[in-house]
């Protein structure tokens, strides 16, 4: 099984991304992935594979805040890069994924948007500064600050 944090680091290195905030639009575009915004209800995002052109499309909720949208894009990209397969859809809505895969996609997203090596350059950051520098939500930044041993 692919390790979420290592895969995120590999991707940043491959695309030569060394600056924060990570530009998710550019990143997805380099991978040939389209991002769309839609009025999703009870869902932050999902991705589909268009077999007609061989491209992935990530769809995010248009009413979500910027930080949350960025995390959703990174999370869906995690599912794609970690080969989690497509989410099943039924007429009644999305079929829930394995919680373990969700955790992996979150780990990937966290490392992609708030890369350990880039954050370490700062020595110490408060959650508010992480949120500002990485353009993530305060909640996500607080979790990362704890993981970095800063909170
Ligand atoms: Zn997910």
Tell me how far apart the alpha carbons of residues 111 and 82 are, in angstroms, rounded to a whole number. 13
Question: CA-to-CA distance for 147 and 151, rounded, in angstroms?
Answer: 8
35-61 confidence digits (pLDDT tens)? 999 998 888 899 999 889 989 999 999
Q: Is the pLDDT of residue 120 over 80?
A: yes
Tell which wins on pLDDT, 110 or 98. 110
Distance 65 CA to ligand 1 centre (A): 18
pLDDT tens digits, 88-107? 544 445 556 678 888 999 99
For residue 90, what pLDDT is reported? Answer: 44
Q: Which residues pair with 64 in a beta bridge?
A: none
Looking at domain 4-114, which CATH architecture does it have?
Orthogonal Bundle (1.10)
Cα 97 to averaged position of ligand 1 atoms, centre (Å): 7
Supply the pLDDT for residue 86: 74
| Ligand 1 geometric centre to CA of 92 (Å) | 18
Cis-peptide, bond into residue 148, ω within 30° of zero: no
Mean pLDDT of all residues in 29-33: 97
The residue-averaged pLDDT of 74-80 equals 95
pLDDT score, position 91: 45
Residue 71: is its pLDDT beyond 90? yes
CA–centroid distance, residue 84 to ligand 1 (Å): 9
- pLDDT for 123 beyond 70: yes
How many A from CA of 105 to the centre of ligand 1?
Answer: 6
Neighbouring residues of 93: CB distance < 8 A, sequence distance ≥ 6: 42, 43
What residue segments make up the domains of the chain, in order of their start? 4-114
């Amino acid at each position: 099984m692919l390790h979420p944090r290592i895969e995120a680091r590999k991707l940043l290195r491959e695309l030569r991304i060394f600056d924060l905030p990570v530009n998710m639009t550019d990143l997805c575009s380099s991978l040939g992935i389209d991002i769309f915004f839609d009025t999703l209800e009870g869902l932050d995002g999902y991705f589909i594979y268009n077999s007609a052109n061989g491209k992935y499309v990530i769809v995010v909720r248009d009413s979500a805040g910027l930080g949350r949208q960025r995390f959703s894009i990174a999370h869906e990209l995690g599912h794609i890069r970690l080969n989690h397969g497509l989410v099943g859809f039924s007429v009644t809505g999305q079929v829930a994924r394995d919680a373990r895969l969700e955790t992996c996609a979150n780990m990937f997203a966290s490392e992609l948007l708030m890369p350990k090596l880039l954050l370490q350059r700062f020595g110490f950051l408060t959650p508010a500064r992480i949120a500002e520098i990485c353009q993530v939500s305060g909640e996500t930044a607080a979790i990362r600050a704890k993981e970095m041993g800063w909170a």
